[in-house]
Structure 1
Amino acid sequence: MASVKEQIEIPAPADAVWQIVRDFGAIDDYVPPITSACLSGEGLGAERTLTLADGGEVTERLTGRDEADRTLRYTLVEGPLPVKNYEGRLSVDSIDASSCAVTWASTFDVVDPPEEAVAATFSELYAAGLAGLKQRCIPRSAQ
């Protein structure tokens, strides 16, 4: 089983960042390769269909949202990447009153190797998404 983990520090309170991350249907607001997200359903079991910049589509299902731990979990239902048993997690951890660390991690089985190339694709996506989240969370006056 392969795994990928990216992390970023954001100079904003954890609770404020969590309010953005916890919105399962709004990932297109901060992940650049995603041009739109369409949410169907509510709560656990809700699915989002993501349209990618290249026109591809990915469907993901919300499997957990822990408000106390500020953690969101989801699985990949279908998409163009050669993986199965994909489980993703986004978590927001407080560093102090005015900053936090956001971690985006996943585990998956690679169907069509090389595993390193597939892992690198996810790593690049997560890094871009976390950078976009940071940009969205920092007040424009501080940028």
Structure 2
Amino acid sequence: MSKVKVSQTSEAIVNLDADKVWKKLIDFGATEKFVPDLIEKVILEGNGVGALRTIYIKGGGEILERLTSINRNKLEMKFIILSTPMPVYNYEGIFQIDPKDGDKCSVKFESIYEVAIQEREEINTVIKNFQETFLSNLDK
């Protein structure tokens, strides 16, 4: 099975100030609020770098993720997926926040991963949809 490395980015303007969005992201355990149609619940173990979250998918399945980096100065955080039912390998997610005028900010969500060539198109669509849904719910 041949794999290909993919980097996919979504970006959105969020109607909250950067500090509020930053707190939501580094909380790391509230993911179900941002993708309520897909996620049943999230269990968080620990906090800060090294924290583990188990995401329980509606209809079955679990995703295990680890928070790997928090850079307050750059408003950037990173996480990796340790296990997932999706055919995605060596996944790293990166969030970066850019403050804007007023109570707004821009949030960039980048996913870097490997996927089998024959599944690339389908997985890219799934991940892009997830990114866009996640970003659209950050101000809720």
TM over 0.5: yes
Match in the other structure for 1:140: none
Is the aligned partner of 1:4 residue 2:16?
no
Contact between 1:3 and 1:119, CA under 8 Å: does it hold in 2? no
How far has the Cα of 1:97 moved from its partner?
3.4
Structure 1, gaps ≥5 residues long: 137-143
Q: What does 1:49-64 correspond to in 2, within 5 Å?
A: 49-64=54-69
Percent identical across equivalent pairs? 31
Q: What does 1:33-112 correspond to in 2, within 5 Å?
A: 33-111=38-116
Q: Which stretch of the first structure deviates more once superposed, 23-32 or 82-91?
A: 23-32
How far has the Cα of 1:66 moved from its partner?
1.1
Is the aligned partner of 1:20 residue 2:17?
no
Which of structure 1's runs of 4+ aligned residues deviate more than 6 A?
none
Secondary structure in structure 2 of the residue aligned to 1:25: coil
CA deviations 1:99-125 (Å, max 9, x no partner) are 101111111110363211111100011
Rounded to whole Å, the distance in 2 between the matches of 1:14 and 1:73 is 17
The two structures have a TM-score, normalised by structure 2, of 0.89
Match in the other structure for 1:120: 125
Contact between 2:26 and 2:48, CA under 8 Å: does it hold in 1? no
Distance 1:111 1:70, change over 3 A: same
Rounded to whole Å, the distance in 1 between the matches of 2:64 and 2:89 is 13
How far has the Cα of 1:60 moved from its partner?
0.4
Structure 2, gaps ≥5 residues long: none
State the aligned residue count.
135
